[in-house]
Structure 1
Amino acid sequence: MVSQKIRRGLILGLTLLPAALLAGCNMVVMHPSGDIADQQGHLIVVSTLLMLLIIIPVIVLIIVFAWRYRKNNTAAAYEPDWDHSTQLELVIWGAPLLIIIALGLITWISTHTLDPYRPLSRLDAQRPIPAGTKPMTVEVVALDWKWLFIYPDLGIATVNELAAPIDVPIHFKITASSVMNSFYIPALAGQIYAMPGMQTSLNAVINRPGEFEGFSANYSGAGFSDMRFKFHGMTPENFERWVQATKTGGGALKRAEYVQLEKPSQREPVRHYGSVDADLYHAIVNRCVDPAQACMDKLMMTDTNVKVGQPAKHE
């Protein structure tokens, strides 16, 4: 009797141990501050609950069957010739099928609703985006091993620091300088890959002020573990002050400065640039920061003209 109590206590303790360990964690993915991340967290909860509808009964039945048909229980029915039950087959196949159909519908709907390229239709569950609202564009460049953020509408840029006003849609244009990375702010939205010579996009909004962690979620070399930055959600007034401070206190980011910045470095401190070349991001994406290099978009346009029989234009 004592050994059974000890065994049951150990089983209960092992069952509750993960919950106890997670209780002290700041699960930002499940308690985010941005509407897109909030919807993604809700999707995780719904999907998990649907799957638990099968997992929990299966685990319970395993324990029940193991206990009921143990060797010492002679009262259990022994039916060696039993081989079929239509009702049991319907339950075994029908319940999982219904859950798979439900998960499929949820996945299909959420895939389109939460498409990172899709412009936002709301600030949160209670507020649509006001008519005439213009999203704030941020151009993101993953460098080795740091992040460059360019605000083309504001004419400023930062390294390893990102800021945005709350309740304003943000349109991120994302690329990389050399190797693939992954742009990820758990409190804001899901991760989006950053790839050299390509541009990916993310539309998101931050709903609460605060300081949040951002980092690369894709291994990219020796300095990967320190490839982190702070994302500041600010009130419109504080964001305007931050912009003015960046403009007055930062240097100029021209192509020559970018070439130096692009060189691999680790644990790069925060930098502010009060001005930035208007076409720098375009040059980064098209691999032509060096004026001697031809831009990829022009090369592809030339190649297309040649294929359709038009004379190539040379500049």
Structure 2
Amino acid sequence: MKNSAAFIRKMASLGLLAAITLLASGCQSMIVFDPKGPVGADQRDLIYFTMLLCLIILVPVLALTGWIVWRFRDKAGNDAPYQPKWEHSTKLEIIWWGIPIVVIGVLAIVTAKYTYKLDPAKPLASEVKPITVQVTSLDWKWLFQYPELGIATVNQLTIPEDTPIRFELTSDGPMNSFWVPQLGGMIYTMSGMATTLHLQADEPGSYMGTGANFTGRDFAKMQFTTKAVTRAEFDSWVKEVKASGKALTEEGYLQLAQPGTSEPLTFSSIPMGLFQRIVHGYSMSRGAPAGYNQKAKTLSDLHGEGDEGHEQPAPQPMPAVPNMNHTNGHNH
């Protein structure tokens, strides 16, 4: 009895410590359960549903485990021989094999449904025209370009509420992961390719954004604030940026891309096609010789179809390549 009482006290102490730790951590760690957009809401619902199905199995199993340990515990002065009697029960076999099979089947169907529904490249259903934001992860900062508006920001993202946002994401450095927990799940940013993510904020507010991938010394500082505002406030903000911000030049981008942290910045204009050139800068050409000591060129660059009007480094001798047109900047 003394051992049992000591065990119960120890488990109660651990439970209390876990509760204190959870409360002390605040709501910051639970913001994924407070979504502010349709994608985040669907992901939260999937998490809740999965947890409920798991509890259907875990709760009875843990309860039976505790009951068995208590019921068949060794007692002081117990000298009875251990002589178990084995019996087969078809009914019990059906219960403890059937329930998990049904749970896994339901979970598989629901997960498949949500996987299709939450495809990050799938546009959100809305009567409002989406806004495109081109995201580039740098060391150690985020560059946001609004190509339709001709402006850009660093480490701050402003979007209108109830408006689908089409994010095009890439990296000019190590692979990272773009994440605004209250709006939706994370997606990788990778050099040499562009990924797509559709999100939407249903109400005004300031939401935490971060890089969720380890990328070196100051990766923990790769955070930004996503401000969801009314459409009128967004239009006013765009006018302010165009009027007061400085232009982002090619030379300015090269300085920005150098490793280092940055305060929030705004730019009143951006070089045309900058995002595409960042993606192309890491694309591999067919037939590129080994040891090619510079950023590889795409086939369109080799034939003068890209970056017109911009000086390019003198290329090393390249083998002849067929004249092929690219519509999306990716080699297949």
Q: Deviation per CA, 1:31-63, whole angstroms, max 9, x where unpaired?
A: 121221111111111101101111111111111
Aligned pair 1:28/2:16, yes or no? Answer: no
Aligned to 1:284: 278
Whether the 8 Å contact between 1:158 and 1:271 is mirrored in structure 2 is yes
* CA gap 1:220/1:72 in 2 versus in 1, 3 angstroms: same
Aligned pair 1:18/2:18, yes or no? Answer: yes
What is the alpha-carbon distance in structure 1 between the residues aligned to residue 100 and residue 322 of structure 2? 61
* CA gap 1:110/1:89 in 2 versus in 1, 3 angstroms: same
Aligned pair 1:111/2:115, yes or no? Answer: yes
Identity of aligned residues (%): 39
The DSSP-based 3-state class of the residue aligned with 1:192 is: strand
Where does 1:267-306 land on structure 2 (aligned, <5 Å)? 268-287=262-281, 295-296=297-298, 298=300
Q: Which runs of 5+ in 1 are unaligned?
A: 122-128, 303-308
Whether the 8 Å contact between 1:140 and 1:173 is mirrored in structure 2 is yes
Aligned to 1:179: 174
The DSSP-based 3-state class of the residue aligned with 2:69 is: helix
Whether the 8 Å contact between 2:36 and 2:183 is mirrored in structure 1 is yes
Aligned to 1:248: 243
Whether the 8 Å contact between 1:254 and 1:280 is mirrored in structure 2 is no
Aligned to 1:61: 64
Whether the 8 Å contact between 1:29 and 1:187 is mirrored in structure 2 is yes
Residue 63 of structure 1 aligns with an amino acid whose one-letter code is G
What is the alpha-carbon distance in structure 2 between the residues aligned to residue 10 and residue 270 of structure 1? 49
Offset at residue 234 of structure 1 (A): 0.6
Pairing partner for 2:106 from 97, 102, 105 = 102
Aligned to 1:49: 52
Whether the 8 Å contact between 2:137 and 2:170 is mirrored in structure 1 is yes
The DSSP-based 3-state class of the residue aligned with 1:29 is: helix
Residue 269 of structure 2 aligns with an amino acid whose one-letter code is S
Whether the 8 Å contact between 2:123 and 2:198 is mirrored in structure 1 is yes
* CA gap 1:300/1:89 in 2 versus in 1, 3 angstroms: farther
* CA gap 1:101/1:298 in 2 versus in 1, 3 angstroms: same
Backbone CA RMSD of aligned residues: 2.8
Residue 187 of structure 1 aligns with an amino acid whose one-letter code is Q
What is the alpha-carbon distance in structure 2 between the residues aligned to residue 278 and residue 65 of structure 1? 70
Aligned to 2:89: 85
Aligned to 2:323: 312
Whether the 8 Å contact between 2:208 and 2:223 is mirrored in structure 1 is yes
Offset at residue 296 of structure 1 (A): 2.5
* CA gap 1:90/1:79 in 2 versus in 1, 3 angstroms: farther
Pairing partner for 2:139 from 130, 141, 144 = 144
* CA gap 1:208/1:297 in 2 versus in 1, 3 angstroms: farther
The DSSP-based 3-state class of the residue aligned with 2:277 is: helix
Offset at residue 255 of structure 1 (A): 1.6
The DSSP-based 3-state class of the residue aligned with 2:56 is: helix
Aligned to 1:135: 130
Aligned length: 294
Offset at residue 297 of structure 1 (A): 5.7
Q: When you count strand as a share of all residues, which structure comes out higher?
A: 1
Aligned to 2:310: none
Q: Which runs of 5+ in 2 are unaligned?
A: 283-293, 305-319, 326-332
The DSSP-based 3-state class of the residue aligned with 2:33 is: coil
What is the alpha-carbon distance in structure 2 between the residues aligned to residue 118 and residue 18 of structure 1? 39
Aligned to 1:170: 165
Whether the 8 Å contact between 1:283 and 1:295 is mirrored in structure 2 is no
- Of 293-302 and 249-258, the range deviating more from structure 2: 293-302
Pairing partner for 2:43 from 26, 34, 40 = 40
What is the alpha-carbon distance in structure 2 between the residues aligned to residue 116 and residue 41 of structure 1? 15
Q: Deviation per CA, 1:227-256, whole angstroms, max 9, x where unpaired?
A: 111110111121112111111111111222
TM-score (norm 1): 0.85
Residue 39 of structure 2 aligns with an amino acid whose one-letter code is I
The DSSP-based 3-state class of the residue aligned with 2:66 is: helix
What is the alpha-carbon distance in structure 1 between the residues aligned to residue 212 and residue 322 of structure 2? 45
Q: Deviation per CA, 1:113-140, whole angstroms, max 9, x where unpaired?
A: 011000112xxxxxxx22xx21000000
The DSSP-based 3-state class of the residue aligned with 1:221 is: coil
Whether the 8 Å contact between 1:286 and 1:297 is mirrored in structure 2 is no
What is the alpha-carbon distance in structure 2 between the residues aligned to residue 54 and residue 16 of structure 1? 24
